[in-house]
Structure 1
Amino acid sequence: MHLFFTDVRTVRKADVVPGLSASEASDVLARFAPVPGTPVLLSESMWPVEPLCTWFRELALDRRSPKTMRAYAYTTSMLLRFLQARGLDLASASEADIQDFRRWRLDEAERTIGEAAWDRDGAAIGCLYKFLLRQGLVERRPWRAATRRRRTLSSGTRRDLRVRHMELEQYLYCRDVGFGGLAPDGGLDHGFRGWRPHRNRAACELALLTGMRIQEWSTLLLPELGLLDAPRPRAAEVELGACAKGGHHRSIYVPGDAMELLDPYLLLERPEIVAKAQRTLRRDHRDLFVITRLEADGAKVRGVLEGRTVTRSIRGMDPRLRRMAVRETGDGLDPLALFIGPGGRMLTTSGWDRARWAAWKRMKTAAATGGMGSQVPHRCWLFHDLRHTFALRLLIYLTRLALGDGRAQQLPMVTLLDHMNGNPLLQVQRRLGHASPATTYRYIRYLKDPMRDVDEAFRAWTAAAGASYADIARTTMILGDADAAQG
């Protein structure tokens, strides 16, 4: 079997389908695979493998992201191969077969996976069998319902939130030395040979001061921040939509400090990138979304996409469409994306990863020569660490503010309504876009180390009683035995 992922633009460019023009071939593909990146599984004789191909099409119609569809396709195609090696198919598989596949993935495959990755595999298999049930292709799922003592496909492992946050000195070292190419003392590093330090520093500041995920801040467009207006706003408010996690809309406040750090990039680096990219953009203009005007105060764009004049809501544009969006200025094509790379295209996640690793190497080198080792962690920073830092700092500030308001009112307790409106956890949850308060609640443990309180409590006890930890443990055991004898 062969797994492919559709791309209408590639088909249009190729023009090699016998008996069909490029536009006719792309129309046929668009009907079969309505979303770019839709998986297609073909047999050795190049026929679609059913019912998986129909299921992939349903995932595309349900607006699943290409990333999710790709992961589901790899998992289910592996499951199908595993079953076929046993002379089975999806309809004839038993619970034992599914559990054997799980054990193979975890322990016996050439490249094994962990419990967290298996839970994603289990979600894909569960979604597939829901589809098979709806289509009447199976009478029931090949596994029993979950109980308190027995799990279904999931591992049952509860994974704690790993929070890696930065102190102020660490953040400045990362932003200015790693990404900005400055020397550890804040001066110019004349040996710096990095690329676009103003862009990278501005991206760090934007990620930190807004708490956005990388797929959210890296796909921002100029009109969303009001950067096509004159004069430019000091602060901005962005309505996230299709690029937010799960497509859950929320409002993001971009403070003045983040906007101010964008200016050197917008005035110095970005025009140079756009000028160098004009030849590439003009060559690929048929594959771009060429915007002719903004509508509804910058909330919508109108332009030519795939030969048709269309109007699109900016909030509803997915990352793929945002990467294609360019504005016809009369002097050339200007990408609508805020952060761009070579060729004038929006920088992808892999592009940002390359910038991150380059910054990490600079940080380690500068720390080794400048005695700044305390500012460099044992593992490379992730852009998501900036989101964790935002959450923790905001939670600390709002908690102190709430305590201060309670003291100022000189009340034994605030009213329930005031508590609900000013609850720091709920405010941080809204800012981060967490679907459940339980996710935000996990940040609390990082506000103060509880083990430090335990140490302090036992230290006071041992100082008063003159006992060691061993003495305390021995006494506790003796008391326990005495209680047991009395019982």
Structure 2
Amino acid sequence: MDLAFVQSGLLERFLDSDVISAEKVATLLKRRGVLDGTPVFLEEETQMPVPPLCEYGRYLSTALLDETTLKDYGRAVRRLDDHLAELGSDVLSAVESDLVSYRDHRTRWQGKPIGGSAWGKESFVQDDLYGFLVDRGVLTHRPARVAARGRNALAPRVRSSMDIRHLTFEQYRYFRDVGLGGQLPNSQVNPTFRGWSPLRGRAGSDIALGSGTRWREWSTVLLPEIGLWPGMPGGAAEFTVQACAKYGKDRPVYVPEDAVASADLFCLLERPDIVRRAARGLERKARDLFVVGDVDVAGGRVRGVMDGVVREFQMSAMDPKLRRITVYEGEFGLEALTLFVCRGGLMPGADAWKGYRHRAWTRMTELADETTPRLPSRRWRWHDLRHTYALRLLTYLENLMDGEEPDLQARRRRHRSYLTGHIRHNPLLIVSRRLGHASPETTYQYLQYTDDLINEFEAAFSGWVGDDEATYAEIASHALSGANGGR
């Protein structure tokens, strides 16, 4: 079985038919509410749609899932069908043993088995698919038995905890300055550095740590949102995320002044050259872009032309796909409204940021010496900066509550305070709100790490971002002198 995805933007370029025009097809897709990314399942030989599975794709589209999720669901169904085809079966005629065989293949026998979390997502898609087919009368019953309380019997039984990984102060500065910034451990310029935009990586890490946001939230931030827009006062920034947030849950995001200053440095020294080089290419693509003509900073709205129609959007309601094609008329021509840009002039995607991080890790390991902080066995992730934010803030707020009391007394007082309902001053709930967790239960998992942090500061994140405090070279020099018996 073959798999395709709805991509309405490609119709005008490639649809060539005397029967129906591309414009009519695009209009029909919009009227029927068929979203981009909706999976379309085709017979391999005839390339004709498979009606029950295409109906499932249509059902997913009406559930208003985002494009990435729609594609993930479609790929999960195709992987299942490919395995079943090797067994002489297919999705519509599978029995329980076929699904058990697929589970064992994915989790045990394939070249790179997947873990419990990844299998949990796949088993959910299977359960959702067969529930849909039974509800629509395509099948009389599910191929797999239903466990107690209606649970999916093929789902992983063990619930894995969060993989919380955080950085110390020295580790963060080494990651930012040496890995992303291209410096040597002694703060000198690395002549072998081949990174194209070190200030972009440094600004990204400072914003990620300083705001505690998820990757899709900080990497898609717009210039007006972070305060780097004509007429705005500068300093710390506060804006609302919604369309780029997990589950679309809106919440305020605070970016400290030092992190904004790091982004401002990128805008002053590196961004203009990237924008200038890409301006001509963006002019040629203007027809496919959202060209903004008016930015209402106070109202948080932008107004411009997209597909020949004047459109207006609330900035917080703009999803990553829309943000990526949003441009305005700048000094050199069209330029992206997003803070971060790459060689093509538009916002870097997930693969680009992954590449920046991987190359940073390679530099960090190659340059490691006796002054280098202990590196973990596994490569760091951007999400580790969010974990670091959560732990630093939680530890700081708990220390404020503890005061100078002995640890045991402090813990008793702290928990009495929790039980008396002082929710406003509860460190755990404050951090939970800042991180945008759907439930405080998720934040509870950070508690086991709050006593493990090495560095204590007068205030949370003091000296972490920006360049007012010690550079990594000074930190390394101090550590080396201490190892050699110096003062």
Q: TM-score under structure 1 normalisation?
A: 0.84
Which residue pairs with 1:435 in the alignment?
A: 438
The answer to whether 1:237 aligns with 2:238 is yes
Return the offset for 1:127. Answer: 1.5
Moved more, 396-405 or 169-178: 396-405
**Structure (1 or 2) with the larger CA radius of gyration:** 1
Alignment check: 8 A CA contact 1:3 1:41 kept = yes
Q: 1:281 to 1:101 in 2, by over 3 A?
A: same
Deviation for aligned residue 1:152: 1.4
Query: Hey, what's the Cα distance between the residues in 2 that align with 1:17 and 1:404?
Result: 74
Deviations, residues 416-459 of structure 1 (Å, cap 9, x unaligned): 5563221111111111111122221111112236xxxxxxxxxx
2:17 aligned with 1:14, yes or no? no
In structure 2, the partner of 1:272 is: 273
1:294 partner amino acid: V
Matches within 5 A, 1:76-115: 76-83=77-84, 90=91, 92-109=93-110, 112-115=113-116
Structural mapping, 1:346-365, within 5 Å: 346-365=347-366
Give the fraction of aligned pairs with identical amino acids, expressed as a percent. Answer: 41
1:12 touches 1:25 (CA, 8 Å); kept in 2?
A: no
Matches of residues 9-158 of structure 1 in structure 2 within 5 Å?
9-28=9-28, 30=30, 34-43=34-43, 44-83=45-84, 90=91, 92-109=93-110, 112-147=113-148, 152-158=153-159
In the alignment, what sits opposite 2:464? Answer: none
> What is residue 424 of structure 1 aligned with on the other side?
427
Contact 2:178–2:364 (Cα < 8 Å) also in 1: yes
* CA gap 1:415/1:374 in 2 versus in 1, 3 angstroms: closer
1:297 aligns with 2:291: no
CA separation of 1:80/1:31 partners in 2, compared to 1, >3 Å: closer, same or farther? Answer: farther
The structure showing larger relative contact order (alpha-carbon pairs under 8 Å, at least 6 residues apart) is: 2
Letter in 2 for 1:72: Y
Q: How does 1:80-479 map to 2 (within 5 A)?
A: 80-83=81-84, 90=91, 92-109=93-110, 112-147=113-148, 152-295=153-296, 297-329=298-330, 332-368=333-369, 371-404=370-403, 414=417, 416=419, 419-448=422-451
Report the CA distance between 1:411 and its aligned residue. Answer: 8.1
Rate the CA distance shift 1:290–1:95 in 2: closer, same or farther, 3 A: same
Give CA deviations for 1:18-65 in whole Å, capped at 9, x if unaligned: 544443344455567722222111112111112111211221222212
In structure 1, what is the Cα distance between the partners aligned to 2:259 and 2:374? 23
Which range moves more in the overlay, 432-441 or 296-305? 296-305
In structure 1, how many angstroms separate the alpha carbons of the residues matched to 2:114 and 2:418? 50
TM-score, normalised relative to structure 2 = 0.84
Within 1, Cα distance between the matches of 2:87 and 2:375? 51
Contact 2:228 2:264 in 1 (8 A): no
- In the superposition, relative to structure 1, how do residues 178 and 84 fare at CA in structure 2: closer, same or farther (>3 Å)? closer
Q: CA-to-partner distance for each residue in 1:181-207, whole Å, 9 max, x for gaps?
A: 222122333443321111110110000
RMSD: 2.8
1:307–1:34 distance in 2 versus 1, CA, 3 Å: farther
What SS does structure 1 have at the residue aligned with 2:317? Answer: coil
The DSSP-based 3-state class of the residue aligned with 1:129 is helix
Partners of 2:150 and 2:70 in 1: CA distance: 32
Q: Which moved more, 1:167-176 or 1:228-237?
A: 228-237
Aligned partners of 1:240 and 1:315 also within 8 Å = yes
Which amino acid in 1 is paired with 2:204?
Answer: A
Task: Check whether the contact 1:223–1:298 (CA below 8 A) recurs between aligned residues.
Answer: no
Provide the rounded CA distance (Å) in 1 between the counterparts of 2:381 and 2:358: 9
C-alpha distance in 1, partners of 2:17/2:404? 70
Deviation of residue 169 (structure 1)?
A: 0.8
Once the two structures are superposed, residues 251-295 of structure 1 have per-residue CA deviations (whole angstroms, 9 ceiling, x without a partner) of 111111111111211111111111111111001001001111123
Q: Distance in 2 between matches of 1:248 and 1:241?
A: 5
**Shift in CA distance, 229/45, structure 1 to aligned 2, threshold 3 Å:** same
Q: 1:374 is paired with a residue of what secondary structure?
A: coil
- Code of the aligned partner of 1:118: W
2: CA distance, partners of 1:180 / 1:216: 22
User: Partners of 2:105 and 2:189 in 1: how far apart?
Assistant: 54
Distance 1:150 1:355, change over 3 A: closer
Q: Unaligned 5+ residue runs, structure 1? A: 450-487
Query: In 2 relative to 1, CA 105–173 (structure 1 residues): closer, same or farther, beyond 3 Å?
Result: closer
- Hey, which of these two has a bigger chunk of helix by percent? 1
Measured in 2, the distance between the counterparts of 1:170 and 1:104 equals 39
